[in-house]
Amino acid sequence: MADQSTSQVGRWVAFALTLIVIGCLFLLAVRTLLPEKSLVKVSTYEPWSEEVLEAARGIPLQDGGRVKPLETYAGYKMLGMRGDRLVKILGKDGEKVKITPTGWMLDALFRPEVAIKLPTFRIDNSDVVELIGMKPKAKRDRYTYDEVAVAREELFRLGGEYEKLQQGEVELDAVQKQTLALARGVREFESFLTYFSFARAGIELRGAGEEGASQYQRTSTVMATAEVIQQVLQEARDSGTAPSAHVQDILQQITDHSNAAKFGPSFLPPADAEQKEWATPGAKIWNVMTRESADPAGAVADIAGMENLVANATRPEGFGEKLMTWREGMEGRAEARGEGEWVGLELSYNKGNWFFRALFMAFLPAALCVVLSWVSPRSMWGRVMAGLVWAGTLSGLVMLVIGITQRSIVMQRPPVGNLYDTIPFITAAAMIVVLIVELITRRRLALLLAPLVGFAGLVMARLYEFGDPNDPMDPLLAVLRSNYWLTIHVLTITFGYGAGLVAAFFGHIYVFLRLFKLDGGDKALRRFLTRVTYGCICFTLLLSLVGTVLGGIWANDSWGRFWGWDPKENGALMIVLWTLFILHARMGGILREWGMNLCAIFLAVIVTFSWWHVNLLGVGLHSYGFSDSKKFAVFLFYGIEGVVLLFGIGYMLVERLGKKSGLSKAAVPGDGVKVEG
Contact 73, 66 (CB under 8 A): no
From CA 263, how far away is CA 261, in angstroms rounded?
6
Burial of 599 (0-12, 13-18, 19+ CB in 10 A): buried
From CA 304, how far away is CA 301, in angstroms rounded?
5
Q: How many CA atoms lie within 13 A of 501 on its CB side?
A: 30
Burial of 232 (0-12, 13-18, 19+ CB in 10 A): middle
Cα dist from 333 to 54, 330, 340, 347, whole Å: 20, 5, 10, 19
User: What's the mean pLDDT in 559-575?
Assistant: 82
Predicted confidence at residue 124, as pLDDT, reads 87
From CA 447, how far away is CA 367, in angstroms rounded?
10
Buried (b) or exposed (e) across 608-634, using 16+ Cβ within 10 A?
bbbbbbbbbeeebebeebebeebeebb
Q: How many CB atoms lie within 10 A of CB 280?
A: 22
User: What's the mean pLDDT in 532-545?
Assistant: 93
Helices (H), 476-624: 483-485, 491-515, 523-559, 567-587, 593-608, 614-616
Q: How far is CA 286 from the centre of its chain?
A: 36
Q: Quickly state the pLDDT bin for 1 (edges 50, 70, 90).
A: very low
Q: Quickly state the pLDDT bin for 274 (edges 50, 70, 90).
A: confident
From CA 211, how far away is CA 240, in angstroms rounded?
32
Predicted confidence at residue 29, as pLDDT, reads 56
Predicted confidence at residue 519, as pLDDT, reads 72
495-512 pLDDT, tens digit per residue, is 899 899 999 999 998 998
Contact 547, 572 (CB under 8 A): yes
Q: Quickly state the pLDDT bin for 3 (edges 50, 70, 90).
A: very low
Contact 471, 68 (CB under 8 A): yes
Burial of 126 (0-12, 13-18, 19+ CB in 10 A): middle
Contact 578, 603 (CB under 8 A): yes
Buried (b) or exposed (e) across 144-176, using 16+ Cβ within 10 A?
bbebbeebbeebeebbeebeeeeeeeeeeeebb
The H or E element spanning position 213 is none
Q: Of 200-204, 234-238, 453-457, 538-542, which gets the smallest average pLDDT?
A: 234-238
Predicted confidence at residue 622, as pLDDT, reads 54
370-401 pLDDT, tens digit per residue, is 877 776 767 788 788 888 989 999 999 999 99
pLDDT above 60: residue 418? yes
Q: How many CA atoms lie within 13 A of 632 on its CB side?
A: 4
From CA 108, how far away is CA 190, in angstroms rounded?
9
User: What's the mean pLDDT in 200-226?
Assistant: 81
- As beta bridge partners, residue 330 has none
Q: How many CB atoms lie within 10 A of CB 218?
A: 18
SS3 state of residue 96: strand
The H or E element spanning position 347 is helix 343-352
635-665 pLDDT, tens digit per residue, is 889 999 999 999 999 989 988 887 776 655 5
From CA 526, how far away is CA 102, in angstroms rounded?
54
Q: What share of the chain is helix, strand, coil (3-state, %, to 5)?
A: 70, 5, 25
User: What's the mean pLDDT in 341-362?
Assistant: 94
From CA 569, how far away is CA 617, in angstroms rounded?
13
Q: Of 7-16, 274-283, 458-467, 563-572, which gets the smallest average pLDDT?
A: 7-16
From CA 340, how far away is CA 334, in angstroms rounded?
6
Predicted confidence at residue 6, as pLDDT, reads 43
246-257 pLDDT, tens digit per residue, is 888 889 999 999
Assign residue 560 a region (left: φ > 0; alpha: ψ between -120 and 50; beta: otherwise).
Answer: left
Predicted confidence at residue 281, as pLDDT, reads 95
- As beta bridge partners, residue 123 has 141
Average pLDDT, the chain: 85
DSSP state of 667: T
Predicted confidence at residue 449, as pLDDT, reads 83
Q: Tell me the helices (H) and strands (E) count for the chain, helix number first.
A: 29, 9
From CA 206, how far away is CA 247, in angstroms rounded?
11
Predicted confidence at residue 211, as pLDDT, reads 60
Predicted confidence at residue 668, as pLDDT, reads 47
Predicted confidence at residue 534, as pLDDT, reads 93
SS3 state of residue 214: coil
